[in-house]
């Protein structure tokens, strides 16, 4: 048996166990080598970039933007399939609230895209009829994030406005998110998203929505007939081509169809992340040995 000094180091200190809950660091060299955490910790390992824990990270639209902004992101989701596509180096599979409690003390900031289905326009009629089974987690999530005493961000759809505290609005037109349709038409993305932050944010002006520009979206259950959209409704549609959808979102070619439907454009997270980066304290993530 190899000497203990030859053991590979655990890369992420998330091997905490409490109440039967265990968190495994996906991709950790020590875990991959079959080593079990001993419980001792080394607080001397420094990280070159501030650590940010992103819960409900999905396939990583916001993750990509936060990485570009300068964070080392630990991405959490309760779906292994979604995490497999996420671009973060460090990934934690599990319940968001459990992971916040276990990993939160070791990071500089948190980001949460709490599930939007309970607030979205697509489930409005079901909610009105009392048939919606989607949880609304923003209030409980905010409490869990704020309890850590570090900067946090919450991102969600416009329908969640009443749940959010002084949110700012981001729009695809602000960032000139466009794509060329198959027939050469220039498409413009709106994709409004609200951002709540414990750190004051500055936002660029929200440009006027010119009705003469052709709008397109990326979401499920939408119309895809461009002729009807342009000539009858004079509204938007979802281009069926995956590459065009990816272009509209700013380049998310690694995502599945569902991932594209649910994500925010990486540039949104980059814009907020750069401001968040200025506010975070230097942080260590304690590594277990």
Residue 100 belongs to domain with CATH number: 3.40.50
Residue 159: pLDDT band (50, 70, 90) is: confident
Total domain count for the chain? 1
For range 201-205, the mean pLDDT = 91
Model pTM? 0.80
- Cα–Cα distance between 121 and 234 in angstroms, integer? 20
State both tokens at 284.
């260590």
3 domain residue, yes or no: no
Domain that holds residue 284: 8-201+209-288
State both tokens at 286.
């304690």
Could you tell me which residue, 231 or 198, shows the higher pLDDT? 198
2 domain residue, yes or no: no
Q: What is the mean pLDDT of the chain?
A: 80
67 domain residue, yes or no: yes
Does the pLDDT of residue 63 top 60, yes or no?
yes
Residue 32: pLDDT band (50, 70, 90) is: low
Could you tell me which residue, 10 or 248, shows the higher pLDDT? 248
Q: What confidence score (pLDDT) does residue 117 get?
A: 73
Q: Which residue in 114, 194, 102, 115 sits closest to 148, CA to CA?
A: 102
- Cα–Cα distance between 272 and 65 in angstroms, integer? 9
In eight-state DSSP terms, residue 248 is H
Identify the burial level of 62 via C-beta atoms within 10 angstroms of its C-beta, where 0-12 means exposed, 13-18 middle and 19 or more buried: buried
State both tokens at 182.
């198959």
1 domain residue, yes or no: no
Q: Which of 37-46, 165-174, 175-184 has the lowest mean pLDDT?
A: 37-46
For range 169-198, the mean pLDDT = 95
Q: What confidence score (pLDDT) does residue 226 get?
A: 77
Please, are residues 180 and 241 in contact by the beta-carbon 8 Å criterion?
no
For range 126-139, the mean pLDDT = 64
Percent of the chain with pLDDT over 70: 73
Which residues, in sequence order, are CB contacts of 102 under 8 Å at separation 6+? 14, 16, 18, 21, 23
Does the pLDDT of residue 251 top 90, yes or no?
yes
147 domain residue, yes or no: yes
126 domain residue, yes or no: yes
Q: Which residue in 124, 140, 142 sits closest to 132, CA to CA?
A: 124
Q: What confidence score (pLDDT) does residue 282 get?
A: 53
97 domain residue, yes or no: yes
| 240-249 confidence digits (pLDDT tens) | 899 999 999 9
| Sign of the torsion formed by the C-alpha atoms of 6, 8, 14 and 15 | negative
Does the pLDDT of residue 18 top 70, yes or no?
no
Does the pLDDT of residue 74 top 50, yes or no?
yes
Half-sphere exposure of 164 (CA within 13 A, CB side): 25
In eight-state DSSP terms, residue 70 is T
Phi, psi (rounded to 5 degrees) for 155: -120, 140
113 domain residue, yes or no: yes
């Amino acid at each position: 048996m190899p000497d203990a000094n030859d053991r590979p180091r655990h890369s992420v200190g998330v091997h905490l166990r409490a109440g039967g809950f265990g968190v495994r660091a996906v991709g950790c060299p020590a875990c991959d080598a079959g080593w079990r955490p001993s419980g001792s910790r080394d607080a001397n390992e420094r990280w070159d970039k501030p650590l940010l824990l992103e819960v409900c990270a999905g396939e990583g639209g916001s993750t990509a933007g936060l990485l570009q902004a300068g964070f080392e992101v630990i991405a959490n989701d309760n779906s292994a399939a979604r995490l497999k596509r996420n671009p973060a180096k460090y990934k934690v599979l599990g319940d968001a609230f459990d992971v916040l409690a276990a990993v939160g003390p070791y990071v500089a900031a948190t980001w949460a895209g709490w599930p939007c289905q309970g607030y979205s326009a697509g489930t409005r009629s079901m909610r009105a009829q009392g048939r919606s089974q989607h949880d609304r987690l923003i209030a409980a999530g905010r409490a869990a994030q704020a309890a850590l005493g570090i900067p946090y961000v919450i991102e969600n759809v416009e329908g969640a406005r009443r749940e959010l505290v002084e949110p700012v609005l981001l729009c695809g037109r602000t960032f000139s998110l466009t794509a060329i349709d198959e027939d050469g038409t220039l498409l413009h993305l709106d994709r409004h998203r609200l951002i709540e932050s414990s750190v004051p944010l500055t936002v660029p002006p929200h440009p006027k929505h010119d009705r003469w520009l052709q709008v397109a979206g990326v979401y499920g259950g939408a119309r895809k007939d461009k002729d009807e959209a342009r000539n009858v409704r004079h509204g938007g549609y979802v281009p069926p081509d995956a590459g065009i959808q990816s272009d509209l979102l700013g380049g998310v070619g690694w995502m599945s169809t569902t991932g594209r439907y649910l994500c925010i454009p990486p540039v949104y997270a980059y814009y907020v992340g750069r401001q968040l980066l200025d506010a975070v304290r230097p942080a260590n993530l304690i590594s277990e040995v």
